[in-house]
């Protein structure tokens, strides 16, 4: 960088002709362009945010846990595109759902095609299953993914327009044990993270028995139509299943006398569901049968479930940390082989991170350096640059403060960082090919051969810690 002169006042040209109208015109044009005025900072789009290092420790923890669980259960990683044809989501999630109707980022791309930012990834996973002929692989085909999803919803705590999910999908097998295993995986991920969760579970059967049930449910509420709120009347019209999780007092009372979906399941569905529950009991996953649990996507069949914080259970506004279910019609709906079963779930990373934060779980983003490098003069900097590389290869993180020149200021930073050792390299040391190792706690210094410093520091660190903390591999990002 070329050093810039300190702020200088630009001499005002007294003779400069005053132009009153011109700047105003320029400004106007800019505004019409929809650009932010120069000099103004850019605001984030509503519901979008930067995830800073404060959160990265938790995010890493979550991603690492997800990844190791995925590997332990032999799920294969899949990267799915963020943009898909709109039709993919319209067909699967359902045209009448809020997600498709008002929350999707849908636009026409330059080739005049309607595309959408994915609001979730299950549909994409099913699409991938079909388009790569995965039905010719041994079933089930198990995959997992993580990445951003987009929904134009009104932002709220734990709810953003760009949010991250980690999901697991299993295609090709309709055994209840598949459902159970997925639930176990989700449950164990959350548990391993230190969260006390319960599984809310229900079965909504096949499309056929659900239709029969819905007719009955609507008929029941029709009798009490005058007691219902406008909102619930609307639901009765549009999506009667949703009336089950109405928060309206009257409706909740009415629900007690309402027909229950479990009574309308056909024998096979019932048996499937009972087996899932039995498996869960067997592995001691705490679950609550919630006959009012329905989920917002049309493709679900049979088992549906959500992971809810246990201490949230009584709370009115309990947020699910994740949820999922079986979707036996999904592959067929997308033109794949008829009757291909599938089951999966997704976890909301922000919500989990929030829950961890509430519990005071906040691991550091990366191991804090125990060594600081202080430099004096250009010659020292040149050698220092190489030294950093030597330490890096020895897997010892080293901090610095290149913005400071005074040794005093550098030691100040070292102190604030809480490092154990500071390496001091000045002009004198450069000439002697030595370097000073300063023990920050005792203040003791020794002058050592610069060529041996890496080994010496390594030894010292080992000695201090007993175990070797620096050999830990850096935290992997999923």
Partner RNA sequence: GUGCCUAUGGUGUAACGGUUAGCACAUGAGUUUGUGGUACUCGUAGCGAGGGUUCGACUCCCUCUAGGCACCCCA
Which residues sit in the known binding site?
A: 120-122, 151, 165, 169, 295, 299-300
Q: Is 371 in the site for RNA (CB under 7 A)?
A: no
Please state whether beta strands 434-439 and 445-449 pair in parallel, antiparallel, or not at all (unpaired): antiparallel
- Element containing residue 161 per DSSP (H, E): none
Query: Among residues 315 and 471, whose Cβ is nearest to RNA?
Result: 315
Torsion sign over Cα 209, 210, 216, 220: positive
Contacting RNA within 322-361 (CB under 7 A): 322-323, 346-348, 350-351
Interface pattern 128-167 for RNA (x via CB under 7 A)? -----------------------x-xxxxxxxxx-x-x--
Radius of gyration of the chain (CA): 30
* Residues numbered 183-202 forming contacts with RNA, rule: CB under 7 A: none
CB of 240 to RNA, least distance (A): 10
Is 428 a residue that touches RNA (CB under 7 A)? yes
Residues within window 252-271 making contact with RNA, judged by CB under 7 A: none
We find the least distance from the C-beta atom of residue 281 to RNA, in angstroms, to be: 23
Q: Please give the Cα distance from 2 to 223 (Å, whole number).
A: 81
Region near RNA per CB under 7 A, out of 72-80, 96-104, 126-134, 263-271: 96-104
Helix, strand, coil shares of the chain, percent, nearest 5, are 45, 20, 40
Site residues for RNA, 32-71, by CB under 7 A, read 43-49
> Among residues 156 and 368, whose Cβ is nearest to RNA?
156
Among 55, 120, 179, 328, binds RNA (CB under 7 A): 120
Q: Which of residues 225-254 bind RNA (CB under 7 A)?
A: 231, 235, 239, 242, 245-248
Least gap, CB of 261 to RNA (angstroms): 16
Contact region for RNA (CB under 7 A) — 81-89, 104-112, 176-184, 420-428? 420-428
Residues flagged as binding site for L-histidine = 120-122, 151, 165, 169, 295, 299-300
Write the DSSP string, 322-346.
EEEEE-TTHHHHTTSSTT--EEEEE
Q: Based on CB atoms, which residue is closest to RNA, 366 or 416? A: 416
Upstream peptide bond of 140 is cis (omega within 30 degrees of 0)? yes
Nearest-approach distance from CB 372 to RNA, in angstroms:
10
Binding mask 305-324 for RNA (x = CB under 7 A): -x---------xx-xxxxx-
Among 99, 197, 398, 453, binds RNA (CB under 7 A): 99
Q: Buried (b) or exposed (e) across 80-103, using 16+ Cβ within 10 A?
A: bebebebebbbbbbbeebbbbeeb
Tokens of 442: 């005792």
* Position among 133, 338, 443, 466 found at the interface with RNA (CB under 7 A): 443
Which CB atom, from 99 or from 141, has the smaller least distance to RNA?
99
Surface-to-core class of residue 163, CB atoms within 10 Å of its CB (0-12 exposed, 13-18 middle, 19+ buried): buried
Of 205, 189, 187, residue with least CA distance to 197: 187
> How many residues form the binding site for RNA (CB under 7 A)?
74
> Alpha helices, DSSP H only, in 161-246?
176-192, 207-223, 230-238
Assigned token pair, 5: 């002169």
d(CA 368, CA 374): 17
DSSP string over 46-89: TT-----HHHHHHHHHHHHHHHHHHHHTTPEE----SEEEHHHH
Report d(CA 439, CA 463) in Å as an integer: 13
* Least spacing, CB of residue 136 vs RNA, in Å: 29
Structure tokens at 320: 């699910």
Applying CB under 7 A, does 456 fall inside the site for RNA?
A: no
- When asked if residue 385 is in the footprint of RNA (CB under 7 A), the reply is no
For residue 121, CA distances in Å to 91, 128, 140, 229, 344 come to: 14, 10, 18, 34, 10
Q: Least CB distance from residue 473 to RNA, whole Å?
A: 29
Q: Does 116 bind RNA (CB under 7 A)?
A: no
Token pair belonging to 323 = 């949820």
Q: Which residues pair with 328 in a beta bridge?
A: none
Q: Kindly state the smallest distance separating residue 97's Cβ from RNA, in Å.
A: 5
Residue selected from 53, 108, 368, 445 as contacting RNA according to rule CB under 7 A: 445
CB of 308 to RNA, least distance (A): 9
**Contact code string over 278-307 relative to RNA, x by CB under 7 A:** -----------------xxx--------x-
Nearer to RNA, 115 or 319 (CB): 319
CB of 313 to RNA, least distance (A): 14
């Amino acid at each position: 960088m070329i050093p810039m002169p300190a702020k200088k006042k630009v001499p005002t040209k007294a003779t400069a002709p005053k132009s009153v109208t011109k700047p105003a015109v320029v400004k106007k044009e800019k505004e019409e362009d929809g650009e932010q005025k120069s000099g103004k900072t850019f605001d984030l789009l509503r519901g979008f945010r930067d995830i800073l290092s404060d959160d990265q420790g938790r995010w890493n923890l979550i991603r690492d846990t997800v990844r190791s669980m995925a590997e332990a259960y032999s799920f294969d990683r899949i990267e799915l595109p963020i943009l898909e044809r709109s039709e993919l989501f319209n067909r699967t999630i359902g045209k009448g759902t809020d997600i498709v109707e008002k929350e999707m980022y849908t636009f026409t791309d330059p080739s005049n095609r309607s595309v959408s930012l994915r609001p979730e990834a299950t549909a994409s996973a099913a699409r991938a299953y079909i388009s790569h002929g995965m039905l010719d692989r041994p079933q089930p085909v198990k995959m997992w993914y993580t990445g951003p999803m987009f929904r134009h919803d009104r932002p709220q705590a734990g709810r953003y327009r760009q949010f991250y999910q980690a999901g697991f999908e299993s295609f090709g097998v309709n055994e209840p044990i598949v459902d159970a295993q997925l639930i176990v995986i989700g449950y164990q991920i959350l548990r391993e993270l230190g969260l006390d969760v319960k599984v809310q579970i229900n079965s909504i059967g096949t499309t056929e028995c659900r239709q029969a049930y819905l007719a009955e449910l609507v008929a029941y509420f029709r009798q009490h139509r005058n007691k219902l709120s406008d909102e619930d009347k609307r639901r009765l019209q549009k999506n009667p299943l949703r009336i089950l999780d109405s928060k309206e007092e009257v409706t909740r009372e009415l629900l007690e006398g309402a027909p229950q979906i479990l009574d309308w399941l056909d024998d096979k569905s019932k048996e499937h569901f009972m087996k899932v529950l039995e498996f869960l009991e067997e592995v001691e996953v705490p679950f609550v049968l919630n006959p009012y649990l329905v989920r917002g996507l049309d493709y679900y069949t049979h088992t549906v479930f959500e992971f809810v914080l246990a201490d949230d259970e009584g709370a009115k506004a309990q947020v699910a940390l994740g949820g999922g279910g079986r979707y036996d019609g999904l592959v067929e709906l997308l033109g794949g082989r008829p009757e291909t079963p599938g089951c999966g779930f997704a976890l909301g990373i922000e919500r989990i991170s929030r829950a961890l934060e509430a519990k005071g779980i906040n691991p550091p983003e990366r191991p804090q350096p125990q060594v600081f490098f202080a430099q004096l003069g250009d010659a020292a900097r040149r050698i220092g640059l190489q030294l950093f590389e030597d330490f890096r290869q020895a897997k010892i993180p080293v901090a610095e403060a290149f913005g400071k020149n005074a040794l005093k200021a550098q030691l100040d930073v070292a102190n604030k960082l809480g490092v154990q050792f500071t390496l001091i390299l000045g002009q004198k040391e450069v000439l002697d090919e030595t370097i000073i190792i300063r023990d920050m706690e005792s203040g003791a210094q020794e002058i050592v051969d610069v060529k041996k410093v890496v080994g010496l520091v390594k030894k010292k660190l080992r000695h201090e810690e007993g175990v070797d903390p620096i050999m830990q591999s850096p935290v992997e990002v999923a």
